[in-house]
Amino acid sequence: MSGQSESRESDGRFKAIAPAPHRADIGIIAALPLETAELMDLLKKVRKYKAQGQTVYEGLRGDRVVTVIHSGMGRERARKAAEHLIFGHRPYWIIHPGFGGGLDASLKHADVILPTEIVNAKGDLVEVPIRPELLPEGIRTGRLLTADKILRTPDEKVKWHQKTGAIAVDMESFAVADLCRSMNLRWVGLRVITDTQLEELPPEILTITGPTGAFRLGATIGALWARPSAIKDLLKLRESAQIASEKIAHYVIHLIDALPIP
């Protein structure tokens, strides 16, 4: 690929994206910086720069160039980040790690899911071929639901589990996997469970969390004023996310090392 690459705008047109000077061996898209916080510490010679409105991190794992972009929450942001990564950095593989909610009652906190199928709320399906070397001990496989919103209550989780057969849920994977399928690109997803099927997320999570995953200060203060005990629930969720971030780092490093690069 030479010259400028292209990324599709929301109306179907294309805009130019200048390729990065070095092709990435592995491209990583995650919704939130917290999801890759532990992973970033395992990369060497990490540099950070801005390109076409995206913050890009580039580092090394051995001799492999790894490029990381945080998309923010939701399908549209994930697709936009994936387009930037694909056209600007031309990775041989895209890894899409992150947090997920458990829909299957057997899933526990910090369980690791490698999706073999991804379904959206409309029932559209993307199949994901899984290579044997990507299945180290401790990983579960199954169908992942990409939902339009956070599934907060047990009733919602049970409903969508029964409706779709998905064992876990997120808000981004379908968009990235569908784009990669349309372009015949190599993609592998990975989700770590931060809340189980029967666990109810605090209601404040719907109002205090911004699209980047950062807490909105004003909304957070208001929520804690209205329900002071919310701080305990939010700290518990933060602790679960920290453990999940460590799991993400462990398994993504395995994928970076195991994936074949031409």
Look at residue 228 in the predicted model and tell me its pLDDT: 53
Look at residue 237 in the predicted model and tell me its pLDDT: 74
Compute the chain's Rg from CA coordinates. 18
Residues 47-72: b if buried by 16+ CB within 10 A, e if exposed: eeeeeeebebbbbebeebbbbbbbbb
Look at residue 19 in the predicted model and tell me its pLDDT: 54
> Is residue 29 a contact partner of residue 81, using CB atoms and an 8 Å limit?
yes
> Is residue 45 a contact partner of residue 59, using CB atoms and an 8 Å limit?
yes
Report the alpha-carbon distance of residue 182 to residue 185 in Å, rounded.
8
For the whole prediction, is pTM greater than 0.75?
yes
Domains, the chain, ranges and CATH?
5-258 (3.40.50.1580)
List the structure tokens of 238.
């933060």
Q: Residue 109 is which amino acid?
A: H
pLDDT values of the chain reduced to their tens digit, one per residue, 262 residues: 223 333 444 334 334 444 555 689 999 999 989 899 999 999 999 999 998 888 999 999 999 999 999 999 899 999 999 999 999 999 999 999 999 999 999 999 999 999 999 999 999 999 998 776 677 777 899 999 999 998 989 999 999 999 999 999 999 999 999 999 999 999 999 999 999 999 987 765 645 455 555 544 444 444 544 555 656 766 777 788 899 999 999 999 999 999 999 8
- How far are the Cα atoms of 14, 123, 143, 243 from residue 168, in angstroms, in the given order? 34, 15, 7, 17
Residue with tokens 């690459």: 5
Look at residue 217 in the predicted model and tell me its pLDDT: 42
